[in-house]
Structure 1
Amino acid sequence: MAVFAVHYVYAEDKIPGRDEFRPEHRAWLNSQVEAGVVLTSGPYPDGSGALILVQGDDADAVATLFADDPFKREDLLADRRIVEWVPTMGAFSS
């Protein structure tokens, strides 16, 4: 399986919705951690978005999976980018 970086970009006008759905979003992410799909996740300190590292067969499969994320489902993201990432050293390298 390949590793993908899922970049979330937050919009200022969506803050109330993200606050409302954050518990459900984090529960969904935790279920993906338990399933071995999400490797790690966290917001950027400046509040502009988040990075989620995941394992998947391809970018389309990751996009399909992430359609179930409450932040995506509720249209709470300004942008989402899914990019295959090839770690060559460290914790996530093969």
Structure 2
Amino acid sequence: MAYYVVHALDAPGKADARAENRPAHRARLRTHDHPLTVHIGGPLLDGAGAMCGTMLVVEAGDRAAVERYVAGDPYALAGVYATVSIHEYAWGLGPPEPSPAQTPEPGNG
């Protein structure tokens, strides 16, 4: 298992679609019927405090599982996201404790 950060930015003009799909998006984050664990998640905010994207830290067997999960998200299905980036992440501070294989060498984190 590895950790991944999902960074998704909304397309312009999608505030209504985000609001309409938010309950389903939030419910899906809390279910356990998918092959990954969502550890942290929340909306990204613009300078005025309006939601403009999503950030998640998930744990999954591989990147493909994360890609499938994001593709099935209500926001993705509704065309809310303009861009999505997924990066493997070495957990370095705060819970959960990283495994030795995921702990960066000193000076590399």
Q: TM tier, shorter chain?
A: 0.7 to 0.9
C-alpha deviations, 1:43-71, integer Å up to 9, x for none? 12323322100001111111012221100
Q: Which residue of 1 aligns with 2:13?
A: 13
Match of 2:75 among 68, 71, 76: 71
Structure 1 segment 9-88 matched on structure 2, within 5 A: 9-32=9-32, 37-46=37-46, 47-88=51-92
Of structures 1 and 2, the larger Rg is shown by 2
Alpha carbons of structure 1 residues 8 and 16: separation in structure 2 relative to 1, 3 Å? same
Letter in 2 for 1:74: A
Q: What is the rounded CA distance, in whole Å, between the counterparts of 1:16 and 1:88 in structure 2?
A: 36
Separation of aligned partners in 2, 1:73 and 1:13: 16
Q: CA RMSD for the aligned pairs?
A: 2.0
Q: Give aligned pairs, total.
A: 93
Unpaired runs of at least 5, structure 1: none
Amino acid at match of 1:89: L
Q: Which amino acid in structure 1 is aligned with residue 8 of structure 2?
A: Y
**TM-score, normalising length: structure 1:** 0.86
For 1:75 and 1:64, how far apart are their aligned partners in 2?
Answer: 15
Superposed displacement of residue 36, structure 1: 6.4
Residue 2 of structure 1 aligns with which residue? 2
Task: Give the TM-score taking structure 2 as reference length.
Answer: 0.75
Tell me the distance in 2 between the aligned counterparts of 1:68 and 1:77: 12
How far apart are the structure 2 equivalents of 1:8 and 1:36? Answer: 18
